[in-house]
Amino acid sequence: MRPNPGQISIILPVLNEEAGIGATLAGVCGLADVEIILVDGGSSDRTREIAASYGVTVVRSEPGRGRQMNLGAAQATGEILLFLHGDTRLGSGFDREIRRILEEPKVVGGAFELRIEGPEPLLRVIEWGVKWRSRLGQMPYGDQGIFVRAATFWELGGFAEMGIMEDFDFVGRLKRRGRLAIAPLPAFTSARRWQKWGILRTTGINQLMIVGYYLGISPARLAHWYRSATLK
């Protein structure tokens, strides 16, 4: 089946996101040539019911963000895929901005500017670092909303189903195909991780995962370490 030209398929891999999924969906529903596919990894709360009330497609999946995103992409009918976290909101005009950016042949994909929804000054420092990492290093992460042409996504084999670092791995492969553009619009993401585990601790854990990835430590071991570190 050929994808619908110009259509954006938004894929949301979620697990127990009832607290924020309504706000996420409210910002993306009702737009022309935009379809929404929510892939639930086994939520025990009201995530699926809330999503269904917005009239979006709800798909059940085994847990695992890479698996969920690939399953959503396989059901998508759009020419463009946008992978969005369940606790991230996009502002008005995001769809027009994505289409504008991907009209540039040398651009293979992109993401949005990160805005963390918390008042702590250190969060502004993190946003500043993400801005330069994304623009100069061409390495946006999943909480910025990653968009890509569907054809390119499948040529790259989709996301590796590796338990952790799926977005990091995919973006690393994607940027070898061309330039990644950062849209001058914000992706507002929840500050809950930084507030729950501490800003410095959360940042340190994330950086250790990146170092471990580059050192060739198995994703299964990294995922185990991540769960252990964030459960303390």
- Residue pointed to by tokens 């500017």: 113
Segments of the chain with pLDDT less than 70: 1-2, 231-232
3-state DSSP assignment of residue 140: coil
pTM: 0.94
- Residue pointed to by tokens 């250790």: 208
Domains of the chain: residue spans and CATH? 4-190 (3.90.550.10), 194-232 (no CATH)
Question: Residue 1: what pLDDT?
Answer: 59
Question: Residue 227: what pLDDT?
Answer: 82
Q: Return the closest-CA partner of residue 187 out of 94, 102, 123, 99.
A: 94
Question: Residue 232: what pLDDT?
Answer: 57
Helices (H), the chain: 21-26, 47-53, 65-75, 94-102, 121-135, 150-155, 166-174, 192-197, 199-214, 219-231
* 34-40 sheet: strands from edge to edge: 57-60, 34-40, 4-14, 78-83, 146-149, 107-117, 179-190, 88-90
Question: Residue 231: what pLDDT?
Answer: 67
Question: Residue 218: what pLDDT?
Answer: 87
